[in-house]
Structure 1
Amino acid sequence: MPYGLAQRGVLCCNNTLYKNRADGERCSENNIPYNPAEGTICRSQFHGSPGQHCCGTDVYQPHTEICCNGHRHPKGRNTQCCGVQAYSIKDPKLKCCAGTLYSLTSLGRLGHEAQCCGSLLQNPLKLVLDNALDRDVCCSSGDKEVLYSAKAGFRCCGHFYYNTSLWSCCAEKLSPAHQQHQHKEIKESRLRSLNNLSEKDLCKELQIGIVESVSVHSIVFHSVLKICGRSATVKPLSSPHILETPDRCTSPKLIPGKTYVFNQVHVFTDFNHDSILQSLHFIIAKCSHF
């Protein structure tokens, strides 16, 4: 529909022309006409307080509250979001698994050994059982973690759990098994989760960098930062940084151009956070005494 830009009383929001509008009105984020001098629109809900911040359909006070996927919560010093819930990352009795918050109180002394597999919390008893077939197995790739019941002769290949008598795995890629290799020791190929590191290991020196290239024996990272969680410091390292990988087949599949956390032995991804800044904040907040 045509209209004049200088014409008063009309407003075009997302291909809809509104007429008889008051001066000063504009389109909201949801393309609803409103006057910002009179109130705030959160999605489709109008609030008679101008200049406010939105959390879902409600307004919230960012100085005293935290917004978790549209839900307001009181803000503390170390409060972070876990899905729609908020928790203190310093609380050893709580663990966030890909947006689902778990209480570890009922697990007693084994609570500190609990690990996530995607949004599921693995039973720590099934991580330490003597009988390997009674354990749970978490197989993980760069974008997925899947929990399986242990089976004899099966191993992880990325997020797949495969029969080693039928398939072989190299860098998360499955191919039909060759008869002559069936009696060799079979190691797993999976990407480890930063969220499952113990506080002791998380707070040791870590590096974070962008994969430049991958070869049979090494991984080249650039734009590498050294993270010291205990001292809350992040320092740049000279590039490129080369991580030796003696057995390429047991190394996880890494994508050039993507960022990973690593130490001298393993490479990790962060299933809990969507950005590198969030991962850095988590490590430093978890480890430092500030």
Structure 2
Amino acid sequence: MLKDDKTMTCAVDKRSTFYGLPGQHCCGGEIFRPDDEICCNGHRHPKGKNVYCCGVNAYNIEDPHMKCCSGTLYNVTSLDNHGHNAQCCGSLLQSPKDVCCSSDEEQLLYSAKTGFRCCGHHYYNTSLWSCCAGMLRPVHQPGHHEGKRIKVHIGIVESVSPHSIVFSTVLKINGRTGSVRAVSPHYILKLSDHCSSPKLTPGKTYFFNDANVFTDFNQENILHSVHLIFAKCYRP
């Protein structure tokens, strides 16, 4: 609490009352004059042309050497010739060699790396993860098929939507019995999560089961892939 001979009082708690001269206000626990000063989060600063608050500090927004990032004031001369292009990443100053990844929760800086990409505020290795709506998912690795996945379909993609895929000329393959049979000429695979499906090209042939489409059969052509299924799964 501050007082002078004119009974001026400022306090930081809401129960206190301010008594002062006309034109005076409280700035935190201090008296300030809005005609001559600005108040930045409880700190007084002289008023000037183009002077604005940045957190508790004041700066001239026309000064090319100063940058305000979410309440934190920076002198960008530390970035040498890149200062005039300085960008903010939340409250952090981003250098040209940095990558800013942001989400609704936070913003984070990372050193730029080849093969990495932002997913929300995460910076991920694209060979290990995929991103869907700001969420990371492990990438299905080639050659790591589950042993139980011995019943698959094969068909030609006709059309794709966020909720389903239409296949034509569909065959059902049972690797354990070594059998193949034709199913409905137009098979609709409904998707509970569109991110679980890779990017598909209409007119191309893919393997799929009741939930997923597979693109990681590392064989020269479809016939080789079918042969591999039978070779690994067939039990006479």
1:50 Cα deviation after fit: 4.6
TM-score by length of 2: 0.50
Letter of the 1:49 counterpart: G
Query: Any idea what SS the aligned residue of 1:41 has?
Result: coil
The answer on whether the counterparts of 1:140 and 1:146 sit within 8 Å (CA) in structure 2 is yes
Q: Does 1:41 align with 2:10?
A: yes
Structure 1 position 106, deviation (Å) = 4.2
Q: TM-score, normalised by structure 1?
A: 0.42
Asked if 1:162 is matched to 2:131, the reply is: no
* Residue 56, structure 1, aligned to residue 28, structure 2: yes
**Contact residue 97 and residue 120 of structure 1 kept, 8 A:** yes
**1:38 Cα deviation after fit:** 4.2
Say which structure, 1 or 2, has more relative contact order (CA 8 Å, 6+ apart).
1
> What is the CA-CA distance between 1:121 and the residue it aligns to?
1.6
Distance 1:109 1:152 in 2: 24
Between the aligned residues of both structures, percent identity stands at 61
2:90 is matched with which residue?
118
Deviation at 1:63, TM superposition (A): 1.3
Shift of 1:105: 2.9
Match of 1:259 in 2: none
CA distance, structure 2, for counterparts of residue 59 and residue 119 of structure 1: 29
**SS of the residue aligned with 2:10?**
strand
- Report the equivalent of 2:68: 96
Q: How many residues align?
A: 139
Residues 169-206 of structure 1 deviation map (CA, whole Å, 9 limit, x = unaligned): 123222232458xxxxxxxxxxxxxxxxxxxxxxxxxx
Paired with 2:10 and 2:72, the residues of 1 have a C-alpha distance of 29
CA distance in 1, matches of 2:51, 2:81: 24
The alpha-carbon deviation at position 78 of structure 1 amounts to: 1.5
3-state DSSP of counterpart to 2:63: coil
- Given that 2:10 and 2:28 are in contact with CA atoms closer than 8 Å, whether structure 1 keeps it comes out as no
Deviation at 1:60, TM superposition (A): 0.5
Point out the structure with max Rg over C-alpha: 2
Mapped partners of 2:48, 2:117: distance in 1: 42
Inter-partner Cα distance in structure 2 for 1:97 and 1:141:
16
Q: How does 1:184-203 map to 2 (within 5 A)?
A: none
Q: 1:161 to 1:108 in 2, by over 3 A?
A: closer
Tell me what 2:151 maps to. none
Find the residue that maps to 1:110 and give its secondary structure. Answer: helix
CA–CA distance in 2 between the matches of 1:41 and 1:70? 11
Gaps of 5+ in 1: 1-29, 31-36, 128-134, 181-215, 217-247, 250-290
Within 2, Cα distance between the matches of 1:136 and 1:107? 12
